[in-house]
Amino acid sequence: MPETLLNIQKLVFTYKNAEQTLAEVDFAVNVGEFVALVGRNGSGKTTLTRLAMSLIKPASGKITLQGKDTAAMTPADMARSIGYVFQNPDRQIFHDTVAKEVAYGPQQLGFAPEALNQSVAWALRMTGLTELADSFPRLLSRGQKQKVAIASAIAMQPKMLILDEPTSGQDPWDGHNLMELLNSLNQQGITIILVTHDMELIAKYATRVAVLDRGHKVFDGTPAELFSGSRDIAAWGLLPPTAVALSQQLADVNAQNAAELLKKVMLAIKERSDDYA
Amino acid sequence: MAVNFEHFSYAYPNSDVVLDDITLDIPQGSFTVITGPSGAGKTSLALAIAGVVPHYFGGRQGGSVQVGGVIAAQSSMGELAKQVGTVLADYESQLVALTVAEEVAFGLETSGFGRSEIAERVNQALTLVGLTGLEDREVAGLSGGQKQRLAIAAVLVTAPEILVLDEPASALDPEGAAGIYELLYKLNCQGKTVVVVEHQLARVLPYASQVVVLQAGHLQFAGDLGQTLAFMWQQPALRLGVPPLWVIKLTLEEQIGLTLTAWKSEDEAAAELNKLMRTCAEGVAKSA
């Protein structure tokens, strides 16, 4: 039986003077999962993650973290268990060196000096920032700043990392590096919730996808189920990954030559899509 | 209106050279896409068309940029702005007014247009970007995607010949991004020259007439979509920038030894592959 890390039950949230943003959303995340949270702009993705972090409080419903009700917890309490990486890394970088920035969180949580040093060194190593430890964070590239934000989050040794659209506006090179980093953090046991619009990334990395549509959770399952063609995902503002879209349009041809060509086509698609086509 | 870079080099104040000896023609009416890894100089190249580089930032430049035959460095940003509409990557920084309608009207008010013409053109621009009905909304209360479309409307309203947009869909979901590019293509078809900086080439496959690859300040390649993607595919450092549909196409070409057409969409790809398989099947049937 997988251990439930975060359990959100019947969550309702409404911004002032607005329609209901989240309508009785149930969303449970188990230890070790890599969950993608998707949906149109304005579907409630960021709101859900902010509620999970206790940055805002729900109108009704319940959130538990490792079985404990988070209603009475502050964002600082939550930070011991969940690291949050904002879409814009500039919003969370304050110190004048990378190492100080990364050390700030665990210092505030009261890490002992040796544990602090170890944790910072590990976080810098995982994110490939060891050589930039003394650099001024604001002069780094966007991709590097984002790594600083991630290093700052993981230096607190959280069980879970929530990232809000970290690859939007990034070039494919930075995006690829970031996803490989998240994958290796996930391999080390950190649970990941990734808010994203990128279906290619979901297909490649996520073990589970939850879809929000106008405040309702309309799908929760594997990427393969989501992209199987049995659901009208366009109604939720989603496009299937290219390989899936293409393979769904290819005719079924039986003759030998054509079958071989089809095999090659499917192989090329499969190389692109790894294990989900 | 065309843009021509002649041996153009540029360095920001107190910095190394960010663009090195760029010679490039952006033909009138083209849909030109500038791409490449971070730090390639894409944004600087885009800003040079609007004269922001070097007029606003200062720094050192060599060679020249001509916009419609006028040398940008010898003109002013104000003069250039009549021809070149620019939407920055940090689009929020160019929004200055309180409400949506005021934001779009701002560029016209400062140019001395009459009240009724302003109202009409604001209306048209908001319709084009799909923000009709939000005229009186506060800019601060818009979503990221709405702000991005508002910045585009505020540029369109002054009817520039050339549109330069730095990652115009970065904050948008897939539908929103597709909508922006359909809009840009529509404007392109009406004769505007469109220049976009874009990382996700999948978004521009149906529209790009020229794709320019920059890397570390150098012009690596400029050509049509097919030429440029084939070039990127051959370069290990650029391969990741090839969109998924073309990864499939180029992999397949290597495997079957056939040259396929320049796919602009999944529909085109599926049509060609299905035709190819049908031809194979008929061949088998005949020889049997």
Contact criterion met (CB below 8 Å) for A123 and A132: no
* Alpha-carbon span B258 to B242, nearest angstrom: 19
User: What pLDDT does residue B76 have?
Assistant: 87
* Alpha-carbon span A95 to A103, nearest angstrom: 10
Structure confidence at residue B284 as a pLDDT band (50, 70, 90) = low
Least confident of A214-218, B12-16, B201-205: B12-16
Chain B residue with Cα closest to A262: B277
B185-189 mean pLDDT = 94
User: What pLDDT does residue A277 have?
Assistant: 36
> How many Cα atoms sit within 13 Å of A211 on the Cβ side?
23
Q: Which residue has the tokens 């046991």?
A: A189
User: What pLDDT does residue A275 have?
Assistant: 42
Is it the case that residue A68 has pLDDT exceeding 50?
yes
Q: Are residues B64 and B201 in the same domain?
A: yes
Is residue A266 within 8 angstroms of chain B, CB to CB?
no
Chain A residue with Cα closest to B237: A173
Which of the two residues, B263 and B82, has the higher pLDDT score?
B263
Residue range A100-149, pLDDT digits in tens: 999 999 999 999 999 999 999 999 999 999 999 999 988 888 788 889 99
- Angle of helix B115-129 versus helix B100-109 axis, rounded to 10: 130
Q: Are residues B258 and B166 in the same domain?
A: no
CB contacts of A242 in chain B (<8 Å) are 202, 243-245, 248, 266
Q: Are residues B114 and B49 in the same domain?
A: yes
Q: Are residues B106 and B142 in the same domain?
A: yes
- Find, among A237, A240, A219, A220, the residue nearest to A229 by Cα: A240
Classify A184 as helix, strand or coil: helix
Instruction: Judge: A251–B173 Cβ closer than 8 Å, yes or no.
Output: no
Strand bridging mode A60-65 / A4-14: antiparallel
Helical ranges in B34-111 per DSSP H: 42-49, 52-55, 77-83, 100-109
Chain B residue with Cα closest to A168: B170
Q: Give all strands (DSSP E) within B151-217, no chain letters.
A: 162-166, 193-197, 210-215
Q: Are residues B188 and B208 in the same domain?
A: yes
ipTM score assigned to the predicted complex: 0.81
Q: Are residues B104 and B190 in the same domain?
A: yes
Is residue A142 within 8 angstroms of chain B, CB to CB?
yes
Is it the case that residue B188 has pLDDT exceeding 90?
yes
Instruction: Judge: B199–A171 Cβ closer than 8 Å, yes or no.
Output: yes
Q: Which of A41, A250, A253 sits opposite B172 (nearest CB)?
A: A41
> How many Cα atoms sit within 13 Å of A111 on the Cβ side?
20
CB contacts of A237 in chain B (<8 Å) are 173-175
Q: Are residues B198 and B286 in the same domain?
A: no
User: What pLDDT does residue B88 have?
Assistant: 87
Q: Are residues B147 and B256 in the same domain?
A: no
Structure confidence at residue B146 as a pLDDT band (50, 70, 90) = confident
- Find, among A11, A258, A4, A60, the residue nearest to B282 by Cα: A258
Is residue A265 within 8 angstroms of chain B, CB to CB?
yes
User: What pLDDT does residue B257 have?
Assistant: 81
Q: Could you tell me how far CA A41 lies from the centroid of its own chain?
A: 16
Query: Chain B: which residues have CB within 8 Å of chain A?
Result: 36-39, 89, 143-145, 167, 170-176, 199-200, 202, 240-241, 243-245, 247-248, 251-252, 255-256, 266-267, 269-270, 273-274, 276-278, 280-281, 283-285
Is it the case that residue B101 has pLDDT exceeding 60?
yes
Domains within chain A, CATH numbers bracketed: 4-238 (3.40.50.300), 241-277 (no CATH)
* Alpha-carbon span A87 to A84, nearest angstrom: 10
Q: Are residues B149 and B262 in the same domain?
A: no
Residue A138 is given by DSSP the state G
Give kind and range of the element (H or E) at residue A143.
helix A142-154
User: What pLDDT does residue B285 have?
Assistant: 60
CB contacts of B15 in chain A (<8 Å) are none
Chain A residue with Cα closest to B249: A268
Interface of A with B in 225-254 (CB under 8 A): 237-239, 241-243, 245-246, 249-251, 253-254
Is residue A31 within 8 angstroms of chain B, CB to CB?
no
Q: Are residues B143 and B269 in the same domain?
A: no
C-alpha triplet B221, A172, B90: angle, nearest 5°? 90
Domain boundaries, position B258: 243-288
* Alpha-carbon span B265 to B269, nearest angstrom: 6
User: What pLDDT does residue A252 have?
Assistant: 64
Q: Are residues B7 and B123 in the same domain?
A: yes
User: What pLDDT does residue A257 have?
Assistant: 58
- Find, among A22, A194, A42, A49, the residue nearest to B173 by Cα: A42
* Alpha-carbon span A39 to A57, nearest angstrom: 22
Q: Order across the sheet with A208-213: list the strands.
A: A82-85, A160-164, A191-195, A34-38, A208-213, A216-221
Residues in contact with B147: Cβ distance below 8 Å, sequence separation at least 6, in sequence order: B91, B92, B95, B139, B171
Residue range A11-29, pLDDT digits in tens: 999 887 667 789 999 999 9
End of a domain among B239, B256, B273?
B239
User: What pLDDT does residue B286 have?
Assistant: 63
Is it the case that residue A209 has pLDDT exceeding 80?
yes
Is it the case that residue B42 has pLDDT exceeding 50?
yes
| Number of separate domains in chain B | 2
User: What pLDDT does residue A276 have?
Assistant: 41
**Long-range pairs, A233-237, Cβ under 8 A, ≥24:** A236/A39, A236/A40, A236/A211, A237/A39, A237/A40, A237/A43, A237/A213, A237/B173, A237/B174, A237/B175
Q: Are residues B197 and B274 in the same domain?
A: no
The CATH number covering residue B75 comes to: 3.40.50.300
Stated pTM of the model: 0.87
